[in-house]
Amino acid sequence: MHEATEVSRTDAAEPAGERRHRRPGGTTVTVLLSLCALPYLAWASLRLVGLDTNRYTAALVALTQYAVPVGAILFVAALLLRRWLTTVALGVVTAILALSVAPRAIPDEPVPVRGEPVTVLSVNVYFGKADPARIVELVRRHGVDVLGLQELTPQLVTALDEAGLAEVLPHRVFEIRPDAAGAGIVSRYPLRELSLVRRTTMSQPSTRVDLPGPRDMEFVAAHPTIPVGDGTASTWRREIAALPPPVSGRQEPARVLAGDFNATLDHSPLRNLLGRGYADAAEVTGNGLQPTWPMNGRPLVPPVTIDHVLVSGGTVVRGYRTFAVDGTDHRAVLAHLVVPR
């Protein structure tokens, strides 16, 4: 009885919080967890507040979808280690990120519509090095009506025609420039060249596609510059913002932007464009997390989704797929659309 009393007195002398719960690992674990949590919270905040204003922050924002599992791991660690303030901060930020990323993997409800079916394909051909036979194969196999090509070179144009492209898609608008700056649009239907995009670093040709139905489609082969060089982030933001706005009514042609945007759905310039009324075909079909670049096994570069098909004017997305093409580090993106009457 005397011994029990002595033990009780010893316990009473300890601080109440320490007696209640000694947090695992003590100060050392708290410091280590903070050293992991703080950089993560800074990374996540870039997307949440739109701080993709230079080459480094733009690269980090591109990896936002990978931030969600990282945050979840840190949240569970903080919870098990009973660091409650860190747990709350990690939980709130990770939940917000998850809510922004998760819809890309959830298909929208099908929309009934009557109109003209149109299949579009976009390929960044990587300095004209993409396999022309593979591109023509995709066009034939999937009944492509409109093909957008970025980084198009005169040599690849010749190779594509030798592979039979002109036989299936006889109409074309090309803007050939040196190196990676060229682009083109090839179509089953007659084209009329437009000037929807002012001159930019890379060619971004635009056309009006004369569809068989009562309503036509305007098509832009999008290719804003990449934001990785010194001072290029501001140009990248400006070139995405300069892409033509969506159309809303059915009295004018539907408008589709397809190509290599050098931006994911987390980058603020592209989010602003979507906020104006475009819909992303991959996100609509629940395929928004499928990466499109880089596809050549570059070390230390996690694959991200920077190639897109954006639709407006009531255009309905019926399907979306990506395909590997030898010779290029991008996947080709294909969308089955319906342009309503």
With cut-offs at 50, 70 and 90, classify the pLDDT of residue 21.
Answer: low
**Cβ 60 vs Cβ 46: under 8 Å:** yes
The count of other CB atoms within 10 Å of the CB of residue 117 is 15
Q: What distance in Å separates the CA atoms of residue 312 and residue 13, rounded to the nearest whole number? A: 71
pLDDT at position 15 is: 54
Q: Which residues pair with 208 in a beta bridge?
A: 192, 218
For residues 53-66, one letter each, b for 16 or more C-beta atoms within 10 angstroms of the residue's C-beta and e for the rest, the string is eebebbbbbbbbbe
pTM metric for this prediction: 0.91
- The pLDDT of residue 9 is above 80: no
pLDDT > 90 fraction of the chain, expressed in percent and rounded: 85
Across the chain, mean pLDDT equals: 92
Based on the domain organization, do 49 and 84 belong to the same domain? yes
Whichever domain contains 291, its CATH number is 3.60.10.10
Mean pLDDT of 154-176: 97
Give which of 141, 139, 105, 99 is closest to 122, Cα–Cα: 139
Could you list the residue range(s) of the whole structural domain that residue 177 is in?
111-340
Q: Which residues pair with 207 in a beta bridge?
A: 193, 219
pLDDT at position 138 is: 98
Q: Can you give 189-218 as a three-state secondary structure string? A: CCEEEECCCCCCCCCCCEEEECCCCCCCEE
Give which of 210, 250, 247, 209 is closest to 341, Cα–Cα: 250
Domain finish residue from 86, 104, 122: 104
Question: Cβ neighbours of residue 232 under 8 Å, at least 6 residues apart?
Answer: 55, 225, 226
Based on the domain organization, do 80 and 117 belong to the same domain? no
Based on the domain organization, do 206 and 223 belong to the same domain? yes
Based on the domain organization, do 199 and 293 belong to the same domain? yes
- The pLDDT of residue 131 is above 50: yes
Based on the domain organization, do 97 and 127 belong to the same domain? no
Sort strands 115-124 and 146-150 into parallel, antiparallel or unpaired: parallel
Based on the domain organization, do 169 and 294 belong to the same domain? yes
Based on the domain organization, do 99 and 245 belong to the same domain? no
With cut-offs at 50, 70 and 90, classify the pLDDT of residue 232.
Answer: very high
Mean pLDDT of 23-43: 92
Q: What distance in Å separates the CA atoms of residue 36 and residue 38, rounded to the nearest whole number? A: 6
pLDDT in tens, 287-323: 999 999 998 767 778 999 999 999 999 999 999 999 9
Based on the domain organization, do 115 and 98 belong to the same domain? no
Based on the domain organization, do 117 and 91 belong to the same domain? no
How many structural domains is the chain composed of?
A: 2
Domain finish residue from 74, 104, 134: 104
pLDDT at position 4 is: 45
Based on the domain organization, do 218 and 278 belong to the same domain? yes
pLDDT in tens, 178-223: 789 999 999 999 999 999 999 999 999 999 999 999 999 999 999 9
Amino acid in the structure at residue 319: G
- The pLDDT of residue 274 is above 90: yes
Domain finish residue from 84, 104, 124: 104
Half-sphere exposure for 2 (CA within 13 Å, toward CB):
0
With cut-offs at 50, 70 and 90, classify the pLDDT of residue 3.
Answer: very low
pLDDT in tens, 57-80: 999 999 999 999 999 999 999 999
- The pLDDT of residue 18 is above 90: no
- The pLDDT of residue 228 is above 70: yes
- The pLDDT of residue 46 is above 80: yes
Based on the domain organization, do 179 and 233 belong to the same domain? yes
- The pLDDT of residue 7 is above 50: no
Based on the domain organization, do 198 and 224 belong to the same domain? yes
pLDDT at position 22 is: 66
